Chain A
Amino acid sequence: MYFKIRRSEYVDIIFAIFGLVVCFAILSIIAILLGDLIISGLPRLTAKFFLSFPSRFPEQAGILSAWVGSLLVIFITAVCAVPIGVCAGIYLEEYAPKNWFTNILEINIANLAGVPSIIYGLLALGLFVYMLNFGESILTGGLTLGLLILPIIIMATRESIRAIPQDIREASYACGATKWQTVRWHVIPYSMGGILTGVIIGVSRAFGETAPLVTIGALTYIAFLPTSPLQPEFPFVSFKWLFDAFTVLPVQMFNWISRPQKGFHINSAAAAVVLMTLSLMMNAIAIYLRFRIRRKIRW
């Protein structure tokens, strides 16, 4: 008996050590990768790198068109996907009757989140580029990534709405509220933290996506900026930029890394550092917001 107890204690300790080793192994691999990127990329991270267009000469090449393109594409993505995703999530949780149709809808949305991103690229190529003639443009890119993150936003919205206790809804209805009043005064405000987190995670995923954008034709040499949305002449705003060709950070990296010259590889590492920093920053904002909003709401 005694020996058996001693043995199982050993197993406990051995498993704990094993777990610790595995964790450290993963962490150190990530640290080495990051360290390597930073060491090789950092010297290239000058103001000039951010303000130059790509070039045939690695030392002169920069990421101006890439980061501007990334920002514009993400802007379109967020503008399209966030309202649709949040509304769909609210509808499915609060309004949709529970029947076979909504069941199918729910299963499909869950499946959509697992579809490989290149499939979205193919869909976009057929739908936005050829059928709707949006061209290989910022609009097409934004809409494609919007589709890609839609299921993420819908699921995050639903998840966070489901966390609201039914008591609260009943209390609202018992006061004589309509469904919309209950949603507007309670469901949306109390689930805002989770929704925002989902939105930011979705957007930061879209930020790093490469495959669907390569599919719709973003893998081109772009040495110009899109038309400015603000114009000196009447009517002062222009939407022409929506239909301009573009590139984004990960696509620019992909472009550089596939070239033979060593200089371009360094550029690629530098762009990677920029992309990673932006991603981590977005995740940090998500964590902060979740913390802030959750602290205010307890049940």
Chain B
Amino acid sequence: MVGQGETDELKAQVRNLNFYYGKNRVLKNVNLDIVSRKVTALVGPSGCGKTTFLRCFNRMHDLYPDNKYEGEIILYPENINIVSKDVDPRMVRMQIGMVFQKPNPFPKSIYENVVYGLRIRGSNQKGKLDEVVERSLRLAALWDEVKDRLFKPAYDLSGGQQQRLCIARALATDPQILLFDEPTSALDPIATAKIEELMEELKKKVTIIIVTHNLQQAARVSDYTAFMYLGELVEYGSTEKMFTNPSNKLTQEYITGRFG
């Protein structure tokens, strides 16, 4: 499907995924390959199901009643179907981290925010935690700004710093995939630029899927782009091709700003 002739390794493969809110079918036969250590952007007009799709990857929908998955999202190399009923959503969330639209640090210290994932896995050795805090904050490009105030409340940070703290929190447990749900929509342009820059670094270590409203952002940060419309995946390909020479008319109209 990727059609690049590259020998890129697959991280995940979505096969005939349908998703229902109650009786309402909001994702329709979605098929998509997620390439390892690349950024895949999901774009499309509001209400097209991009966020719903993203939240299937870490089984967020299981928190609310009356939702149903059909089809498969196979995670490689484990080769497990993460939307299967037999798979514990917690096991999925331990492998797949998420960064939300609005920065949502816990009202605790910076340090406690980062180590939360380890604490709930029962890890309490001070040395190990300290090490993870430094590593994660460095990865999230936040270490230099906060290293002197690790035990101060996370809410004292600016919005952009809070969002990078949330990224550090997600990175602390070495996820295989990191999901970004419009991570910069609540941030100013400078903070946005910092996070985009950060993604460039992060993709060396982790596979990224990002939902974005901002087409320029998709063009800047992603290697692959998937265009969704009304719950269907319309077109998928390398970002370069999608933005210069899309094969589908709908994609072309959306990319050129004729609707959306």
Which A residues form the contact surface with B (CB < 8 A)? 97-98, 165, 167-178, 181, 185-186, 190, 296-299
CB contact list, B52-108 vs A, under 8 A: 58, 60, 63, 65, 90, 93-94, 97-98, 100, 102, 104-107
Q: List 21 A-B contacts (CB under 8 A).
A: A167-B100, A167-B104, A168-B106, A170-B63, A170-B104, A171-B169, A173-B60, A173-B63, A174-B58, A174-B97, A174-B98, A175-B116, A175-B117, A175-B170, A176-B117, A177-B90, A177-B116, A177-B120, A185-B119, A298-B107, A299-B155
- Does A167 lie within 8 Å of B65, measured CB to CB? no
Q: How far is the CA of A171 from the CA of B108 in the complex (A)?
A: 13
- Does A176 lie within 8 Å of B121, measured CB to CB? yes
Excluding A175-B169, A175-B173, 6 further A-B contacts by CB distance (< 8 Å) are: A168-B107, A170-B63, A171-B104, A173-B93, A174-B60, A177-B90
- Does B170 lie within 8 Å of A299, measured CB to CB? no
Query: Least Cβ distance of A48 to chain B in Å?
Result: 51
Given A167-B104, A170-B60: A185 and B120 interface contact (C-beta under 8 Å) = yes
Is B166 an interface residue, CB under 8 A from the partner? yes
On chain B, the residues within 8 Å of A185 by CB distance are 106, 116, 119-120
- Does B93 lie within 8 Å of A176, measured CB to CB? yes
For A180, give the chain B residue with the smallest CB separation.
B120
Partner of A175, one of B63, B93, B153: B93
Partner of B120, one of A168, A169, A175: A175
Which B residues form the contact surface with A (CB < 8 A)? 58, 60, 63, 65, 90, 93-94, 97-98, 100, 102, 104-107, 116-117, 119-121, 153, 155, 166, 169-170, 173
> Which of B60, B65, B90, B153 has most A Cβ within 10 Å?
B90
Query: Least Cβ distance of B163 to chain A in Å?
Result: 12
- Does B106 lie within 8 Å of A170, measured CB to CB? no
On chain B, the residues within 8 Å of A190 by CB distance are 107
On chain B, the residues within 8 Å of A169 by CB distance are 63
Query: Least Cβ distance of A163 to chain B in Å?
Result: 12
Given A97-B65, A185-B116: A174 and B93 interface contact (C-beta under 8 Å) = yes
Q: How many A-B residue contacts, CB cutoff 8 Å?
A: 66
Given A176-B173, A185-B120, A298-B155: A171 and B106 interface contact (C-beta under 8 Å) = yes
On chain B, the residues within 8 Å of A168 by CB distance are 104, 106-107
- Does B120 lie within 8 Å of A171, measured CB to CB? no
On chain A, the residues within 8 Å of B107 by CB distance are 168, 190, 296-299
Query: Least Cβ distance of B162 to chain A in Å?
Result: 11
Q: How far is the CA of A177 from the CA of B173 in the complex (A)?
A: 12
List 4 A-B pairs, minimum CB-CB distance, nearest first.
A176-B94, A167-B104, A174-B98, A175-B117
Given A170-B60, A174-B170, A175-B173: A98 and B65 interface contact (C-beta under 8 Å) = yes
For A173, give the chain B residue with the smallest CB separation.
B63
Q: How far is the CA of A158 from the CA of B228 in the complex (A)?
A: 40
Q: How far is the CA of A186 from the CA of B97 in the complex (A)?
A: 19
Q: How far is the CA of A149 from the CA of B63 in the complex (A)?
A: 32
On chain A, the residues within 8 Å of B120 by CB distance are 175-178, 181, 185
Partner of A186, one of B58, B65, B106: B106
On chain B, the residues within 8 Å of A296 by CB distance are 107, 153
For A297, give the chain B residue with the smallest CB separation.
B107
For A182, give the chain B residue with the smallest CB separation.
B120
Q: How far is the CA of A178 from the CA of B153 in the complex (A)?
A: 24
